[in-house]
Amino acid sequence: MLTCMNNTELEKIMLSLGESKFRAKQLFEWFHQKKIWDYNQMTNLPKNLKDKLTTQYPTNNIKIVEKYISAIDGTRKYLFELSDYHIIESVLMKYKHGNSVCISSQVGCRMGCKFCASTIGGLKRNLTPAEMLAQVYKISEDINEKISNIVIMGTGEPLERLDITTKFIELINSDKGQNIGQRHITVSTCGLVPKILELAEKEMQITLAISLHATTDEDRKNIMPIANKYTIKQLLDACKLYINKTGRRITFEYSLIDGQNDTVDVAKQLSNLLKGMLCHVNLIPINKIETQSFKSSSEDKIKDFANILKSRGIEVTVRRTLGQDINASCGQLRYNYLKTCL
Ligand code: SAH
């Protein structure tokens, strides 16, 4: 797909079609700067090239099928339809420092985390880099504003196909496109250790977020099947290596489940595990999904948990719950939508 290609790759295609190399630059600008994927609207291309591209290289753009706007905080949640009719979801969050978009990396997910709606129907397929970009472009077009931050924290495990995720980052980062700096991009993983090590070698300036959610292997196995594959020690060792290699601070996501992983003892264990690491903990009140009975910890318990970490020298923030009125947690909107189609 041409929308997944960098300039060098586009030049090769243009030459193979008997066109001049400079058409590559024009195409890249249409796709990634002007966010136009319909060849017929590309006014500086000759008619015969537009026709050739339309038949040989369809761009398969995504379509907004539903949109919800939170009356509380302006968060927008989108359901998109892909060219093969699969449904994915993305979220726009408005902050003082700019617009942040949370995108999906896969249709569904096979990681099986017990508290997560995205994984209920399993993995359908990977997204292409173009389908990841299109989520950002469509939302930017919809609100008619620039997007300044990207979090790859929607449905899917973005490190499973590291090649796809890094291609997306290369394209969204391009100064001939949206020019979103790597420091404004966060990639969240449930902890695929070999992929974390592979990513470390790339020495990117992105923020890596790790879904930890427990302090012992036994507890983690109860909620995250990936813990059967890699121990917390292996995961944290990979994180330390990542920090050494990139100099970047890691974010640990920790979703608090009432009575399970939110006690004073667990908070102390967590601070022991993370002591001395260049990191930051993001506490997330668990969002209840209907297939599970997990309950969110009370506000007081969350505050206590945060204070214990703070008093032991661990940087911590509590994630603001945005879009409470529009099902804004990972995979919930898509899950509810697909249920109504059955
Ligand atoms: N697969 C990646 C990214 C997607 S999930 C990962 O596991 O990190 C983004 C974050 O939301 C993860 O930390 C995930 O564990 C968390 N999450 C998923 N469902 C949730 C829920 N119902 N309540 C709170 N956090 C949830």
Range of the domain at 228: 63-341
Atom of ligand 1 nearest to the CA of 209: 8
The angle subtended at Cα 39 by Cα 129 and Cα 161, nearest 5°, is 5
Give catalytic residue positions.
89, 330
pLDDT of residue 37: 98
Share of residues in the chain with pLDDT > 70 (%): 96
Q: How far is the CA of 155 from the centre of ligand 1 (A)?
A: 8
What CATH number has the domain bearing residue 282? Answer: 3.20.20.70
- Same domain for 253 and 163? yes
Residue where one domain finishes, among candidates 32, 56, 80: 56
- Name residues contacting ligand 1 (CB within 6 A): 111, 113, 115-116, 153, 157, 188-190, 211, 253, 255, 284, 286-287, 289, 329-330
Q: How far is the CA of 64 from the centre of ligand 1 (A)?
A: 23
From 25-29, 157-161, 281-285, 327-331, the region with the lowest mean pLDDT: 327-331
104: number of CA atoms within 13 Å, CB side?
Answer: 35
221-251 in b/e form (b: 16+ CB < 10 A) is eebbbbbeebbbeebbebbbebbeebebebb
pLDDT of residue 341: 57
Q: How far is the CA of 11 from the centre of ligand 1 (A)?
A: 39
pTM of the model: 0.95
Atom of ligand 1 nearest to the CA of 115: 22
Band of pLDDT at residue 12, cut at 50, 70 and 90? very high
Q: How far is the CA of 82 from the centre of ligand 1 (A)?
A: 23
- Same domain for 39 and 83? no
Residue 69 has pLDDT above 80, yes or no: yes
- Same domain for 180 and 147? yes
- Same domain for 234 and 319? yes
State how many domains the chain has.
2
Q: How far is the CA of 277 from the centre of ligand 1 (A)?
A: 22
Give the tens place of pLDDT for each residue, 226-243.
999 999 999 999 999 999
Atom 2 (ligand 1): residue with closest C-alpha? 189
Q: Which residue has the higher pLDDT, 60 or 41?
A: 41
pLDDT of residue 153: 95
- Same domain for 157 and 35? no
> Which residue of 109, 284, 289 sits with most ligand 1 atoms within 8 Å of its CB, as the best mutation to test the pocket?
284
Band of pLDDT at residue 293, cut at 50, 70 and 90? confident
Q: What is the mean pLDDT of residues 112-124?
A: 94
Residue where one domain finishes, among candidates 11, 32, 56: 56
DSSP lists the bridge partners of residue 141 as none
- Same domain for 130 and 31? no
Give the tens place of pLDDT for each residue, 295-331.
889 999 999 999 999 999 999 999 877 666 766 566 7
| Average pLDDT over all residues of the chain | 94
Contact 99, 145 (CB under 8 A): yes
- Same domain for 235 and 309? yes
Q: What is the mean pLDDT of residues 260-285?
A: 96
Q: How far is the CA of 211 from the centre of ligand 1 (A)?
A: 7
Q: What is the mean pLDDT of residues 74-103?
A: 95
| Those residues with Cβ within 8 angstroms of residue 157's Cβ, 6 or more apart along the chain or in another chain | 105, 106, 109, 110, 111, 189, 190, 192
Could you give the CA distance from residue 170 to residue 174 in angstroms, rounded to a whole number? Answer: 6
From 48-52, 195-199, 271-275, 287-291, the region with the lowest mean pLDDT: 287-291
> Which residue of 210, 255, 288, 335 sits with most ligand 1 atoms within 8 Å of its CB, as the best mutation to test the pocket?
255
Band of pLDDT at residue 145, cut at 50, 70 and 90? very high
Residue recorded with tokens 């813990």: 227
Atom 21 (ligand 1): residue with closest C-alpha? 287
Give the tens place of pLDDT for each residue, 190-227.
999 999 999 999 999 999 999 999 999 999 999 999 99
- Same domain for 52 and 103? no
- Same domain for 105 and 29? no
Atom of ligand 1 nearest to the CA of 152: 3
SS3 197: helix
The angle subtended at Cα 299 by Cα 295 and Cα 301, nearest 5°, is 80
What CATH number has the domain bearing residue 34? Answer: 1.10.150.530
Could you give the CA distance from residue 268 to residue 163 in angstroms, rounded to a whole number? Answer: 37
Atom 22 (ligand 1): residue with closest C-alpha? 287
- Same domain for 25 and 83? no
Atom of ligand 1 nearest to the CA of 224: 15
- Same domain for 145 and 290? yes
Q: What is the mean pLDDT of residues 76-80?
A: 96
- Same domain for 291 and 208? yes
Tokens at 329, concatenated: 């947690």
Residue 135 has pLDDT above 80, yes or no: yes
